Amino acid sequence: MKAAVLREPKTPLTIENVEVHNPGPHEVLIRTVAAGLCHSDLHFMEGLYPYPLPAVLGHESAGIVEKVGSEVRTVKPGDHVVTCLSAFCGHCEHCLTGHLSRCVSPETKREAGEAQRLTQGDKPMNQFLNLSSYAEMMLVHEHACVSIRRDMPLDRAALIGCSVITGVGAVMHTSHVRPGETVAVLGCGGIGLAAINGAAIAGAGRIIAVDVVGSKLNLAKHFGATDVVNAKDGDPVAAVMELTGGGVHHSFEAIGLKQTAEQAFKMLGRGGTANIIGMIPVGVNIELHGVEFLGEKKIQGSLMGSNRFPIDMPRLADFYMAGKLKLDDMISQRIKLEQINEGFAEMKRGELARSVIMFDS
């Protein structure tokens, strides 16, 4: 099969032939239909986060089940599925207390000494985040995918698997936004737009979008933002404080920068919670003034939207089909696998919401 391989940081991905093995007892072989380009992949491509190489990247995807292992009961051949990088074992402390996204059990991977899921000739090829979806086929643990309704378009469904569940989940699960509360979202890319959309669905009374690109702020209004702040025009913290008369209940940083993480905390009102969704580069520290904590302000991380994805993703598909989840406008362009490097170049320019690779086109 064709796959996009990262061999060295800060180099383009190369389209290569890679072999995928048959599914083991708890594995599922999926024909990839759509895969979104995510900023997280770019972090690994640029060496900001370490990963064993060579590897087939990609983790935001949807496809159709081709084969299943002998013990798989959750999906069957022909099912339309969404994948999720937060594969779970189902019986560790995190799973049994309802925190599936925190599971770190090695059981979702093949054991040492077993043949790797992906190979190239007689050499193993590293699988990325349990998925490796920049490839024509994916071989994953059964708890890394979930079946969805067949009338859900798979290019939109792919977005649910990462950016949408990360943004919507941070709002609904991590920070528990309640009707009437105020929200600020810093960064209006795919995850930020999903957080804005999730806040609207949750009934937030005021949703403030913050970005430096005017076109993204205009898009944020369509996703549910009631107010927009262009950070190029001045201090966004002061702007949010003025709009709300003292700060928001919840803020969501969806960029992954020191400055915006600190701003997310500073724009809180008393008792507010700042949620850091973006991937801040390894080694970068954020600075907060201790006196701020006297106002019972909180800052916390959010891992993949604190998801319970076997439940969440079918519900998000229902939200889309009911017209509540605005996925159509989140896709800026559809490209082929061979155009993947151009897609990431567009991402670095910061003007597009999401590019999606279509494998059947």
Q: What is the pLDDT of residues 280-292, one digit of tens each?
A: 988 999 999 888 8
Q: Which domain holds residue 216?
A: 167-303
Catalytic option among 26, 38, 84, 250: 38
Catalytic option among 59, 143, 173, 250: 59
Residues 133 and 174 in one domain: no
Residues 203 and 89 in one domain: no
Residues 103 and 179 in one domain: no
Contact between 188 and 351 (Cβ < 8 Å): no
Distances (CA, A) of 96 to 89, 90, 143: 10, 7, 14
Residues 75 and 202 in one domain: no
Residues 248 and 217 in one domain: yes
Q: Is residue 83 part of a domain?
A: yes
Catalytic option among 26, 43, 80, 249: 43
* pLDDT tens per residue across span 187-234: 998 899 999 999 999 999 999 999 999 999 999 999 999 999 999 999
Is 84 a catalytic site residue?
A: no
Distance CA 300, CA 294 (A): 16
CATH of residue 242: 3.40.50.720
Residues 254 and 347 in one domain: no
pLDDT for residue 361 is more than 60: no
CATH of residue 349: 3.90.180.10
pTM for the predicted model, two decimal places:
0.93
* pLDDT tens per residue across span 151-168: 999 999 999 999 999 999
Domain count of the fold of the chain: 2
Q: Is residue 323 part of a domain?
A: no
Per-residue pLDDT, 39: 86
Is 43 a catalytic site residue?
A: yes
Under the banding of pLDDT at 50, 70 and 90, the label for residue 350 is confident
Smallest Cα–Cα separation from 9: which of 58, 59, 51, 56? 51
Q: Is residue 29 part of a domain?
A: yes
Q: Is residue 162 part of a domain?
A: no
Q: Is residue 152 part of a domain?
A: no
Catalytic option among 26, 39, 40, 145: 40
From 284, 303, 322, give the residue that closes a domain: 303
Residues 125 and 89 in one domain: yes
Residues 344 and 250 in one domain: no
Catalytic option among 84, 95, 162, 188: 162
Residues 135 and 218 in one domain: no
Residues 184 and 286 in one domain: yes
Residues 6 and 141 in one domain: yes
* pLDDT tens per residue across span 306-326: 999 999 999 999 999 999 999
Residues 9 and 37 in one domain: yes
Distance CA 343, CA 51 (A): 21
